[in-house]
Amino acid sequence: MRIFSALYDRVMRWSRHPHAPAYLAGLSFAESSFFPIPPDVMLAPMTLANPHRAWWFATLTTLASAAGGLFGYLIGSLAFDLIEPLLHQAGYWPQYLDAKAWFDRWGFWAVFLAGFSPIPYKVFTITAGVIGMALLPFFAASLVGRGARFFLVSALMAWGGERMEKLLREYIDRVGWLILLLALAVFFLAKG
């Protein structure tokens, strides 16, 4: 079944849309404060489709993400009582507690690592606001951590360019099914 190739073609069409950079900026902002989908899912295909704009896309994603991090910081500092139940419902409460422990131990480096890694960054932005982390180190760590991640993604996609786009198109269904099977295996192993 060729489900993933149709999705791949659609994503590549969307990545060439004239408004795609605005959508990328919006997604980057939202993901840093409240939205669950990381901007890499747009950044990678946009860079594949337009490798000559890789650095612009990485810069846009980094700045929008850092700005979204400031919004997450404000949520944590001004409205934590309102969002605490949502953290419980969405299953982010254990991650929030881990983030607090990271801040106690590493401070600036916690934000940097969360910005670079696949850890839900929004949990760290909100936590930074809750504990009242100094704003300048928070913002600097966000810029550096997020920037390192997004420039790496853009560089890899630009390096692969048209060659990688064609290769992915050829193997996307196999890769998609393999990832789905691995995700199901991890789910059942974690559940059992």
pLDDT tens figures, 106-157: 888 888 888 888 778 888 899 899 989 999 999 999 999 999 999 999 998 8
Model confidence at 5: pLDDT above 80: no
Amino acid symbol at 161: G
Radius of gyration (C-alpha) of the chain in whole angstroms: 18
Domains identified in the chain, total number = 1
Task: Note the pLDDT tens digit of each residue in 35-91.
Answer: 888 888 889 889 988 899 999 999 999 999 999 999 999 999 999 888 889 888 888
**DSSP 8-state secondary structure symbol assigned to residue 51:** G
For residue 129, the model assigns a pLDDT of 93
Q: Are the beta carbons of 35 and 71 closer than 8 angstroms?
A: no
pTM for the model? 0.77
Task: Note the pLDDT tens digit of each residue in 82-97.
Answer: 888 988 888 888 888 8
Residue 79, domain extent = 3-191
Tell which residue, 63, 70, 71, 62, has the closest CA to residue 149. Answer: 62
Length of the chain measured in residues: 192
Amino acid symbol at 26: G
